[in-house]
Amino acid sequence: MERTLGLIKPDATAKMAHGPIMTAITEAGLKIVACKSMRLSAAEAAGFYAVHSERPFFGELVEYMTSGPIVAMVLEGDDAIQKWRDLMGPTDATKAGPETLRGRFGTSLQNNAVHGSDAPDTAAFEIGFLFAGRELEALSR
Ligand code: UDP
Ligand code: MG
């Protein structure tokens, strides 16, 4: 059993896509073991994406991620990290297939509707950044 961190980004919550996205997650066989909506501060968004702080798109990424509410989720299942990345599709939503969430709900390289951890160490960091231990208990029994 593996856990990963999923985000439904502000462009997707703005179009009320969080319902269909969570349905697709469940239908793909992943368990949503924690879930909450929030609005990130600039400092929180910068901390979450600290790995990208030297990249040219960092400032715009922080602006985008703070432009509206997000939904944060902890997803659990066999091979959950890769399964969720496959369901999301490639980073650039304009190159994502219609069977992927980025293809369905994203519109550009930046505005790509969803986030997913890319490895076990980043999943652990991202889950710990956004969730307290007690929040990981309720739905997971
Ligand atoms: N991003 C961007 N321009 C780029 C690359 C990425 O605006 O050239 C944004 C995009 O929203 C992406 C996020 O920064 O989802 C994190 O980038 P990463 O390379 O980690 O892609 P991901 O893991 O989300 O597919
Ligand atoms: Mg990434």
Q: Amino acid letter at 23? A: T
Confirm whether 56 is domain-assigned.
no
The pLDDT, as a whole number, for residue 96 is: 98
Residue nearest to atom 15 of ligand 1 (CA): 91
List all residues 6 or more positions away from 5 whose beta carbon is below 8 Å from its beta carbon.
72, 73, 74, 75, 115, 116, 117, 123, 126, 127, 130
User: What CA–CA distance (Å, rounded) separates 89 from 104?
Assistant: 10
The pLDDT, as a whole number, for residue 141 is: 63
The pLDDT, as a whole number, for residue 26 is: 97
The pLDDT, as a whole number, for residue 137 is: 81
129 lines ligand 1 (CB under 6 A): no
Q: Residue 21's domain spans which residues?
A: 2-41+69-140
The pLDDT, as a whole number, for residue 139 is: 76
112 lines ligand 1 (CB under 6 A): yes
Confirm whether 80 is domain-assigned.
yes
Indicate the number of domains in the chain. 1
pLDDT under 70: residue ranges of the chain:
138, 140-141
Probe target for ligand 1 pocket from 110, 117, 125, 126, with the most ligand atoms within 8 Å of CB: 110
Answer yes or no: 18 catalytic.
no
Confirm whether 92 is domain-assigned.
yes
**Nearest ligand 1 atom to alpha carbon 85:** 25
- Residue 126's domain is classified under what CATH number? 3.30.70.141
